[in-house]
Amino acid sequence: MAAPELTKADFQSDQETRWCPGCGDYAILAAVQGFFPELGIPPERIVFVSGIGCAGRFAYYMNTYGMHGIHGRGPALATGLAAARDDLSIWVVTGDGDALSIGGNHLIHALRRNVPVKILLFNNQIYGLTKGQASPTSELGKITKSTPFGSIDSPFNPISLALGAEATFVARTIDTDKQHLPSVLRAAAQHEGAALVEIYQNCPVFNDDAFEGLRDKKSTERIYLEHGQPIAGVRRGEGGLELGEGEPVIHDAHREDPSFAFALSRLGPPVIGIFRDVERPVSGRELTAQLAAARASADDAKLDAVMRAADTWTIS
């Protein structure tokens, strides 16, 4: 008997969606719910994990399994879940504050290990839930409630950070782009290992128009990355890649060496698309094979028999 065809409604929970009017999270939620039926994975085999922040509400609005964790621990919780259940599609929803401050260590190691989870990093360059403090991606000089004289800390570049951690799939998209956002999410879903997707997301209350110009669908500022195609607006300079017209640079998202993708990440916000998409052994699968081989050995078989023989053991 064929499985019933899934629709967007199958992924919409009965909870009232509550973000500030105009928040970019609405558009991201609609995009996720809209393309998920294409995956053919029933809701009961999908899990959304979140930390603390406005993005943390996301799990409540998906009619899937979900876990609302503590600050920054989304990737850690997802790693444990992936280790125990390799039959699930696991997604982490996080923000620039949640993922890149207290959660930074968990994020980079989930990417380094190539844990089979998809991480959606909503970047609005501000702490929205706690009412407008500077975040790890706030620009230098940014005046906020926690930096009244302007931020003096250099911001993280999430794409560069992920590439430095040897992430196998790294991409950037924009909350309001109804074509580009689903296409990038679709590619992340198809990737075998860890995938990080940075999503420029507007916070209309505490950091409105942080990406002014880029979010406009008619924007001429965007530089799109498409594997195997010339990158319009990027050329090779004396110091490497730079913005400007010149001899076409062909994008290679499958290049094993991440230096090319890293150079693209340093060109700034205009560049969107898939920076890197390569194959590498997925965390957990090699360990499973090692354990299976160990259990098949004679000594391990004897130990297993002892462990299962009784509730108590006498050691002499």
Residue 83, Cβ density class (10 Å: 0-12 exposed, 13-18 middle, ≥19 buried): middle
Tally the C-alpha atoms within 13 A of residue 219's C-alpha that lie toward its C-beta. 18
Structure tokens at 111: 């990417």
CB 185 within 8 A of CB 32: yes
Q: What is the pLDDT of residues 66-106, one digit of tens each?
A: 999 998 999 999 999 999 999 999 999 999 999 999 999 99
**pLDDT score, position 207:** 95
Residue 207, Cβ density class (10 Å: 0-12 exposed, 13-18 middle, ≥19 buried): buried
**pLDDT score, position 255:** 97
**What are the backbone angles phi and psi of residue 62, rounded to the nearest 5°?**
-100, 130
**pLDDT score, position 1:** 56
pLDDT < 70: residue spans in the chain: 1-3, 287, 291, 295, 298-300, 316
Which of the listed CATH numbers 3.40.50.150, 3.40.50.970, 1.10.3720.10, 3.40.250.10 matches domain 8-279? 3.40.50.970
**What are the backbone angles phi and psi of residue 277, rounded to the nearest 5°?**
-150, 95
Q: What is the pLDDT of residues 178-194, one digit of tens each?
A: 999 999 999 999 999 99
- Listed by start position, the domains of the chain span 8-279
Residue 196, classed as helix, strand or coil, is: strand
**pLDDT score, position 36:** 97
Q: What is the DSSP letter of 133?
A: B
What is the per-residue burial (b if ≥16 Cβ within 10 Å, else e) of 5-15? ebeeeebbeee
**pLDDT score, position 4:** 77
**pLDDT score, position 190:** 96
Residue 81, classed as helix, strand or coil, is: helix
What is the per-residue burial (b if ≥16 Cβ within 10 Å, else e) of 213-250? ebbeeeeeebbebeeeeebebbeeeeeebeeeeeeebe
